[in-house]
Amino acid sequence: MRAIATFVMRGPSQAALIAAVTALLSILIPPLGLLSAASVGLVTLRAGPRQGLIVCGMAAVGMAVLSWLALGSPLPAIGVLMMLWVPILGLATLLRMTRSLALAVQTAGMLGVLVLLGVTLGLGDPAVAWAGLLEPFREVLVRDGAISEEASAALFGELARWMTGAFAAALVAQLLFGLFIARWWQALLYNPGGFGEEFRALRLSSLLGVVTLLLLAVLPFIDGVGLAANLLLVLGLLMLMQGIAVVHQIRALKQGRPLWLVGFYGLLVLFMPQSLLLVASVGLVDLWADIRARIAARASQGPGGGGTAD
């Protein structure tokens, strides 16, 4: 990763090359899109929004040419520019100016909420549009005998009702992980260990927690999957980020080995979605309970509880 970050910082041409190539390859290998976003983010964080904008422009032209040669159309470059590079440019600029990771995370979440509301208001009933997009996949499963006609209709109908929130949450997750990688690269090159300290201190606004609790309170009184449930997917992602920050800080305070985090992420993946809900709940509770401060106070007292030695 250091080698990629070093190459990106050699100049706008190198950064644009990495951004364009990884964005195009992300069609086949989606995680590479994070490196594309991180390339734009790193340049913006280090050199400012003007240089980030230059990289975006060069990368868009480069990807348009590559996608036209490979796919016969330059249109994917426009989609990546509007949905990935421009938002990450804005978030990186905000982080550079304010030095507040929490503000950047919350802004990304609000972008997701705006996308969700825009799709909902623009389409009226987004589930109908999603059902149309998912229909070819349903037909393939039914034709292959993987699922019955009746079961597939119920399953994909339910899935279509969750898709708007899932799409918005996935967009926010991609932007956040791209920003985190960019910040980590910046720390790796210029401030070793800086991103770890910054992420472990991540603390979101309690207002987000209040909104989340209100949505959870009204959810039982709403029939079916509606706007409130889809909004919870986006806000829940933000709570998840704070929950993960709590876990990292606890590990640091307890001076646990790195293998401890490997086990944590392994369990997080193996026991989804219950594990995600649990960690998000920890993040929500931490907004008021300040779990990290309590554990830090206990750690400073030492094993005997009477304070540390001079």
Q: d(Cα 116, Cα 122) in Å, to the nearest integer?
A: 10
Backbone angles phi, psi at 191, to 5 degrees: -150, 70
- Percent of the chain exceeding pLDDT 90 equals 52
Q: d(Cα 304, Cα 246) in Å, to the nearest integer?
A: 24
User: What is residue 306's predicted lDDT score, i.e. its pLDDT?
Assistant: 44
Mean pLDDT, range 34-39, rounded to an integer? 94
For the segment 266-290, what is each residue's pLDDT rounded down to a tens digit?
Answer: 988 888 888 999 999 999 999 998 8
User: What is residue 158's predicted lDDT score, i.e. its pLDDT?
Assistant: 80
User: What is residue 305's predicted lDDT score, i.e. its pLDDT?
Assistant: 47
Q: Output the average pLDDT for the chain.
A: 87
Q: d(Cα 221, Cα 89) in Å, to the nearest integer?
A: 40
User: What is residue 308's predicted lDDT score, i.e. its pLDDT?
Assistant: 37
Residue 162 has pLDDT above 80, yes or no: yes
- Percent of the chain exceeding pLDDT 70 equals 96
Q: d(Cα 91, Cα 109) in Å, to the nearest integer?
A: 11
User: What is residue 225's predicted lDDT score, i.e. its pLDDT?
Assistant: 67
For the segment 92-127, what is each residue's pLDDT rounded down to a tens digit?
Answer: 999 999 999 999 999 999 999 999 998 888 877 788
Cβ–Cβ under 8 Å, residues 8 and 185:
yes
Residue 227 has pLDDT above 90, yes or no: no
Residue 141 has pLDDT above 90, yes or no: no
Model confidence, pTM? 0.89
**pLDDT band at residue 224, thresholds of 50, 70 and 90?**
low
For the segment 186-208, what is each residue's pLDDT rounded down to a tens digit?
Answer: 999 999 888 999 999 999 999 99
Give the burial class of 31: count Cβ atoms within 10 A of its Cβ; 0-12 exposed, 13-18 middle, 19 or more buried.
exposed
DSSP-assigned states of every residue in the chain = -HHHHHHHTT-HHHHHHHHHHHHHHTTTSTTHHHHHHHHHHHHHHHH-HHHHHHHHHHHHHHHHHHHHHHHS-SHHHHHHIIIIIHHHHHHHHHHHHH--HHHHHHHHHHHHHHHHHHHHHHHSSHHHHHHHHHHHHHHHHHHTTSS-HHHHHHHHHHHHHHHHHHHHHHHHHHHHHHHHHHHHHHHHHHSTTHHHHHHHT----HHHHHHHHHHHHHGGGS-SS-HHHHHHHHHHHHHHHHHHHHHHHHHHHTT--HHHHHHHHHHHHHTTTHHHHHHHHHHHHHHHH-HHHHHHHHHHH-TTSS----
Cβ–Cβ under 8 Å, residues 281 and 239:
yes
User: What is residue 302's predicted lDDT score, i.e. its pLDDT?
Assistant: 62
User: What is residue 303's predicted lDDT score, i.e. its pLDDT?
Assistant: 56
Q: d(Cα 291, Cα 276) in Å, to the nearest integer?
A: 18
In degrees, to the nearest 5, what angle opens at C-alpha 22 toward C-alphas 233 and 268? 35
Distances (CA, A) of 132 to 95, 153, 155: 39, 12, 14
Cβ–Cβ under 8 Å, residues 230 and 164:
yes
Residue 223 has pLDDT above 80, yes or no: no
Find out whether the peptide bond into 258 is cis, omega within 30 degrees of 0: no
Residue 150 has pLDDT above 90, yes or no: no
Q: 294: Cβ–Cβ under 8 A, 6 or more apart, which residues?
A: none
Residue 310 has pLDDT above 70, yes or no: no
**pLDDT band at residue 7, thresholds of 50, 70 and 90?**
very high
Cβ–Cβ under 8 Å, residues 217 and 232:
no
